[in-house]
A and B are shown apart, each in its own frame.
Chain A
Amino acid sequence: MAEQTEVVSKRPQMAVEIAGIKLKNPVMPASGTFGYGEEYAPYLDLNQLGAIVTKGLSLKPKAGNNTPRICETVSGMLNAIGLQNVGIDAFIADKMPFLQQIDAPVIVNFFGNTQEEYAEVAARLDDLPGVAGLEMNISCPNVKQGGIVFGTEARAAQDVVSLVRKRTDKPLIVKLSPNVTDIRVLARAVEDAGADAISLINTLTGMAVDVKTRKPRLANTIGGLSGPAIRPVAVRLVHQVVQAVKLPVIGIGGIARAIDALEFLIVGATAVQVGTANFVDPNAMQTVIDGLEEFCQNEGIADINELIGSLKQ
């Protein structure tokens, strides 16, 4: 009897590992929804997070789009921020010192508008102490190739990931765009190109119209849809990618509560990212972490890894 009580009350093992990055739990913020971490420091203990993922970074500072940049939709939002960021020099000087103090691995999300830009940013981040891994956003237009988005064409995706792979030894997570015909083709392409892990989904392209003015609600006309509204689409895409590749997968899309995160883990994601939900509740990630632990405890699961890929037919 005494022994049994001990087993039940023992805290489940929550740590997971992605491409050699050790996370104390599988929960981290999604790039662009958590700034550089410091913005949310007053509201939750960053040391409790599985990792920190920073706003998309480019070689030079980027201005971003005109306003309005955001618009609320049914259980979701559209954004066309335009990847505004401080650029790599200011990131290293102003943002890294804060991030380095946090007891959680720092994953730096980055992008470029040409293959060379991607490679250059990756090379600069490669020597940077305190960076545990890189997340490469390939949902960006290739300005040298008529603006076609790298992540929507297997060939372009494979080329740019291969090039980046040559320039960094850090764990390389490639973040996929959902705006493709067959996500499995893209997943295999980046696996072949040497990615260490895959994260998905980035936002789904969408549009909203103000019927009174008859103008698009976003200055950019088109934006990316995120939030609870996209979750079923994201779960489906993660499921398909897990089936298609051997790489570990990070699930993203509409996660706001532990049961949302569990769906992704069960279909086979090793970790998850919480995005838009941070805006709604700055403590959302802590709630997800606590809820996952409670679920494991209630279900008698000793190690959260037992859940990963446990989907039954």
Chain B
Amino acid sequence: MKNHKTIILSNQEIAPGYYRMRILAPEYQQLATPGQFVMFRVQHTFLPLLRRPFGIFRVGFMPADCDAMPEKEFIEIIYKVVGSGTEIMQELHQGDRIELLGPLGRGFETGDPAEEKILVGGGIGLVPLYMLAEKLVQTSKVRLLMGGRTRDDIITVTEFERLGVETYVSTEDGSLGEQGLVTSVLEQKLAAQPKAAVFACGPMPMIDAVQKICAGYSTSLQVSLEALMACGVGACLGCVVKGAGHSDAEPRYLCSCKQGPVFRAEQLDWSRLEQQDSVCGGCD
């Protein structure tokens, strides 16, 4: 865990509205585990103020520019342009200076190698699953079920295929792969073989549906959640989610940035994950 003042090595649009950024990141090869994230400081001014969290897509090395120089260690992030911060990010170029805090959070547990591994990704939620796939293919059979609204939301699937991952694609409009929701493919797979380990990341309705399906087959599930974050290190308590057994009398909040962003399904209170009611008069 470090704050690196570093530079961008490349920043390219890979699909409409999706960018892939490579950033010089010493030590990440050794430190980063699948499912972890970084807090990216977009500008050196205070507008936008907070850092933006992004999953680590992959860690790698670039050959040295010159014989006597060391190889360049980098990370890649893939981001979708959605607001003020990512709008600035899409304008950044090779050589621009940025700050990177990380690697942060708890990633995925790989579990029993004998089990089949099923990765479920929805749109940009695919990002943290790539590093996981790289690791899992070494010991286990790995499938990726990838869903999106249209073909533009289906990114980097061929890279998973190159790892030896069997991939299934579905889109809601049928513009690529099967038409429908990725969760119905999951349902079919688990009906045939419930003894598997499922790893999911994507929009909350997808994660919710995945949880219901996995619970139905008693299949183990880990999910990576997105939460609003200010600090990324466990200090502000802005990013909490409700843990299993949570009640007003005995609250069990889990910190997404520190105890997550990856959780085992049984750690969470699924009935209240999205419920929002208020208890206090506006104190910090």
A residues sitting closer than 8 Å to B (CB atoms) are: 32-35, 39-40, 42-43, 55-56, 61, 63-77, 79-84, 111, 139-141, 147, 149, 202-203, 205, 219-224, 227-228, 256, 276, 278-283
| The 3 residue pairs across chains A and B that have the minimum distance between CB atoms | A63-B251, A35-B235, A70-B238
Most A-side CB within 10 Å, residue of B48, B101, B251, B279? B279
Q: In whole angstroms, what is the CA distance A70 to B1 when docked?
A: 24
Determine whether the beta carbon of A32 is less than 8 Å from that of B231: no
Interface residues of B (CB under 8 A from A): 1-3, 41, 46-51, 99, 101, 227-241, 248, 251, 253, 258, 275-284
Most buried by A among B41, B46, B258, B280: B280
Q: CA–CA, A81 to B229, complex, Å?
A: 12
**Cβ–Cβ contact B284 & A224, under 8 A:** yes
A224 with B282: in contact, given A66-B277, A76-B49, A280-B41 (CB under 8 Å)?
Answer: yes
Q: Distance (Å) between the CB of B38 and the closest chain A CB?
A: 13
B101 touches A141 (CB 8 A): no
> Chain A's interface: helix, strand, loop or mixed, by majority?
loop
Given A39-B258, A224-B282, 5 more A-B residue pairs with CB atoms under 8 Å apart are: A35-B234, A43-B101, A65-B280, A66-B275, A282-B233
CB distance from A110 to the nearest CB of B (A): 13
Q: Which of A35, A66, A141 interacts with B283 by CB under 8 Å?
A: A141
Q: A32: nearest residue on chain B (CB-CB)?
A: B284
Cβ-defined contact, B283 with A82, below 8 A: yes
B228 touches A82 (CB 8 A): no
Question: CB-CB < 8 A to B277: which residues of A?
Answer: 66, 219
**Contact A221–B234 (Cβ < 8 Å):** no
> Contacts of A83 on B, CB cut-off 8 Å?
280, 283-284
A109 to B18, CA, bound (A): 44
| A62 to chain B: closest residue by CB | B251
A80 touches B282 (CB 8 A): yes
30 CB-based A-B contacts, threshold 8 Å: A32-B236, A35-B236, A39-B234, A42-B1, A42-B2, A63-B251, A64-B237, A64-B251, A66-B278, A67-B240, A69-B237, A70-B230, A71-B228, A72-B50, A79-B230, A80-B284, A81-B236, A82-B280, A83-B283, A84-B237, A139-B284, A203-B284, A205-B282, A221-B278, A224-B284, A228-B49, A256-B46, A280-B51, A282-B3, A282-B101
